[in-house]
Amino acid sequence: MKVRSLDSLARGRRFLRRGFTILEVAMGAMVMLLAVSTSIMVLQRGYQSLDDARNTTLATQVLQSLMEDLRLNNWTQVTALQAASNNGTSGNVAIDSSFTGYSTTAANMLSDFVCTRTIADVSGQTNMKLLTLAVTWVGYNGSSHSLSFSSYYGKNGLYDYFYTTH
């Protein structure tokens, strides 16, 4: 009887095992599937956050610009705007080409925003108005967003506004 050395036995077994078993391949595929699907979910959430941040910045710039336009009006003009909105005239504020500097790219970006202006009397005050501008938009995933600015407008005073988010 011939006795084989341990080296020859180990070499013989090494040649019998040439590839991965189906279980090893399936486990590797599951790990890759988990990694790829997690990466896609993280990218999607990142794009949603980027869209929300970009649109919030644009809405803030629109509101600030429109509020500055309102602050340039005198008391008579603000009162006339309030009377017009109380008589059924729409409270929506147009964001047109004059607002965007006649840039079609900017106009396309702002076409998703709807701005509403509300002017109300402050209770107990005859020489003060509450100006509120609100912008609403829908994100790329269908969620609705809004942002509003409010300002107390005094007949003979300085005007300042407050940021509020919803």
- Band of the pLDDT at 127, cuts 50, 70, 90? confident
- Band of the pLDDT at 15, cuts 50, 70, 90? low
Query: Which residue type sits at 68?
Result: E
Question: What is the mean pLDDT of the segment spanning 17-30?
Answer: 87
Distance CA 112, CA 91 (A): 17
| Position 158 pLDDT exceeds 80 | no
pLDDT computed for residue 27 by the predictor: 95
Q: 99 or 123, which is more confident?
A: 123
Which residue matches tokens 């896609």? 40
pLDDT computed for residue 157 by the predictor: 65
Question: What is the mean pLDDT of the segment spanning 116-134?
Answer: 88
145 and 136 in contact (C-beta within 8 Å)? Answer: yes
154 and 130 in contact (C-beta within 8 Å)? Answer: no
99 and 65 in contact (C-beta within 8 Å)? Answer: yes
- Count of beta carbons in the 10 Å neighbourhood of residue 106: 15
- pLDDT tens sequence across 41-56: 999 999 999 999 999 9
Percentage of the chain lying above the pLDDT 70 cut: 75
Distance CA 111, CA 109 (A): 6
- pLDDT tens sequence across 56-77: 999 998 898 888 888 888 888 8
| Position 166 pLDDT exceeds 80 | no
pLDDT computed for residue 103 by the predictor: 72
112 and 137 in contact (C-beta within 8 Å)? Answer: yes
151 and 162 in contact (C-beta within 8 Å)? Answer: yes
pLDDT computed for residue 11 by the predictor: 60
Beta-strand pair 92-93/144-154: unpaired
